Amino acid sequence: MAKIKLLVVDDSAFMRKAIENMVKKDPDIEIVGTGKNGIDAIEMVKSLNPDVMTLDIEMPRMDGLTALQKIMSENPLPVIMVSSLTTEGADATLRALDLGAVDFIPKEKSFASFGVMKIEDQLIAKIKDFSKRKTFFRKPVLARPSASTAKPAAPAPKRPAPKITSKKKMVVIGTSTGGPQSLQKVIPMLPGDLGVPIVVVQHMPPNFTKSLAQRLDSLSKLKVLEAQGKEKLEPNHVYIAKGGTHLKIKKMGPHFYTEVSTEPSSTLHIPSVDVTAASVAETIGRDALGVIMTGMGSDGMKGLQLLKLKGGSVLAQDEQSCIVYGMPRAVVQSGFQDEIIPLEEIFQRIVAYCK
């Protein structure tokens, strides 16, 4: 079996060595080259044809965003950005994800707070997952048909939808790897008069969830904000779980409020989809809709099982449209989903369940 070819581009010798030390423990991954700037990245992608690349953002001569844009237009492949955990780093990383990067890992000093072993395990798993999905990033070049030969595209077959027995009063969405890009194909597509609040759990550090909320808010008809705790849940508002804290829903009188907490601290991810979905299940139950989207691992499976057992409904993104089919697969394998649907149809189904 051929080894996975990894290209590492970073102006920091420390970071290049750190990534090398992390991945060399896995016999299936081979570092085929290292570069120091965006010019190196572009040239080495052409000459080495790697399966996956890690790419720094701030580099001399040519920065990572400029290089990424050129690479994704000419020789697209799965790219993992190396990002600082500052607000500026978060903004730049989200721009990189917009340009086609699949994910990011924290840079240098962040290792101590995140835990090197945790990053190591996740990086190896992501490299392996992304290498299998390499064709996902290849954009086919299609010849433009002439006016005389062009044929209208056949309409997609209609999928029979389950009977919706009750209008939902809240939506909870869980996602991880590939989530920022995928959320931009769901939240901005929803109407401004959806009529219900939405809570979103995206696995990200604190500054990143704030930048994500601001970006989605600028693109959406709904109001999108990072949950700080004690907010009254309002219709037509989207509450993004803050990185480093769990988002729970608490009922006080006839109203529901956000609650943020670092407990339980034992979960693999903080925020955790399981924690938020279980909270929604306990407070709202059958009147809630759960949506599980692209992401590595199984976070969300237990919480959405509870939601389903309480009478709620659950949608799972299909494998073909996921960057990583981990979290949706776990829900589907448990058998608790009502529908399995492609990314581009998720917003339509949310509207159907809520309106």
**Tokens found for residue 239:** 């509450």
Q: What angle do CA 132, 136, 137 make, to 5 degrees?
A: 110
Catalytic residue among 103, 274, 299, 338: 299
Burial per residue of 69-105, b for 16 or more beta-carbon CB atoms within 10 angstroms, e otherwise? bbbbeeebbbbbbbbbbeeebbbbbbbbbebbbbbbb
Q: Is 246 a catalytic residue?
A: no
Burial per residue of 229-240, b for 16 or more beta-carbon CB atoms within 10 angstroms, e otherwise? eebebeebbbbb
Q: Is 279 a catalytic residue?
A: no
Q: What is the length of the chain?
A: 355
Catalytic residue among 11, 203, 220, 338: 203
Say if CB 41 and CB 16 are below 8 A apart.
no
Catalytic residue among 176, 182, 220, 272: 176
Q: How many CB atoms lie within 10 A of CB 254?
A: 5
Q: Is 203 a catalytic residue?
A: yes
CA atoms within 13 A on the CB side of 61: 13
**Tokens found for residue 171:** 């939506």
Catalytic amino acids?
Answer: 176, 203, 299
